[in-house]
């Protein structure tokens, strides 16, 4: 697995790269946002937010505009606002420094499992809606929906049990692989986007005080 570390501080980047290589990862390094955006394709990006030439959130946004490569934000900026913005811009996870190498590797593997095709994943039908987790495709009345990776993960999480209420906490843990219990605004942003793409807000119902459910 090819990992791109976007980190300008050598005392942080070099031990991290060495530890990942010991675990069998192929590691590339970028010290600036410009280097990260010009880097060859990789399987996952570990992105610091404090970079010398540009804000890491801008790097995340530009990466997401051009690619579906998984991005894990790895930063000392642990404020709630940074977490919300990072997740809304398409980051797949958010890890605050300091962190343990074992925890980071577990998060990398969890993100990659969600991004990869699972041969055991099933196809769910709810009326005219079809969600295929193996191919990561969703169709409505035979028309394929153009979804971002996070939008698909959110729809798949709701579609696994149509009609069942799914809590916000469960969605954060399942879709964003985080135990952070701060503002869940990012879920509302993605739900709003899904409703627009589904063409009918009634497809995803709000369960007051709990979360959401996919119309059965």
Question: In whole angstroms, how large is the CA radius of gyration of the chain?
Answer: 18
Query: Given this model, what pLDDT does residue 99 score?
Result: 82
Contacts by 152-161, CB closer than 8 A, 24 or more apart: 153/114, 154/187, 154/190, 154/191, 154/194, 155/131, 155/194, 155/214, 156/124, 156/131, 158/204, 158/212, 158/213, 158/214, 159/124, 159/126, 159/129, 159/131, 159/214, 160/124
For 210, which DSSP code? Answer: T
pLDDT in tens, 1-50: 899 999 999 999 999 999 999 888 899 999 999 999 999 989 899 999 89
pTM listed for this prediction: 0.56
User: For the chain, which domains are there?
Assistant: 2-115 (3.40.50.2300), 123-214 (1.10.10.10)
pLDDT tens column, 116-167: 534 445 688 888 999 987 778 899 999 999 998 889 989 988 988 888 898 8
């Amino acid at each position: 697995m090819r990992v791109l570390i976007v980190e300008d501080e050598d005392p942080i980047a070099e031990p991290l790269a060495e530890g990942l290589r010991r675990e069998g990862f192929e590691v590339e390094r970028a010290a600036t946002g410009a280097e990260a955006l010009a880097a060859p394709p990789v399987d996952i990006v570990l992105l610091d937010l404090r970079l010398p030439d540009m804000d890491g959130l801008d790097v995340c946004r530009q990466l997401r505009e051009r690619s579906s490569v998984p991005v894990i934000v790895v930063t000392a900026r642990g404020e709630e606002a940074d977490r919300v913005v990072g997740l809304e811009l398409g980051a797949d996870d958010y890890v605050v420094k300091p962190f343990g190498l074992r925890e980071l590797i577990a998060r990398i593997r969890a993100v990659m499992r969600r991004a990869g095709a699972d041969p055991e994943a099933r196809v769910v039908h709810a009326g005219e809606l079809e969600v295929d987790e193996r191919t990561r495709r969703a169709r409505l009345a035979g028309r394929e929906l153009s979804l971002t990776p996070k939008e698909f993960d959110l729809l798949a999480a709701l579609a696994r049990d149509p009609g069942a209420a799914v809590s916000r906490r469960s969605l954060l843990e399942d879709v964003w692989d985080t135990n952070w219990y701060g503002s869940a605004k990012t879920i509302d942003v993605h739900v709003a986007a899904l409703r627009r793409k589904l063409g009918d807000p009634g497809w995803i119902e709000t369960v007051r005080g709990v979360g959401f459910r996919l119309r059965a």
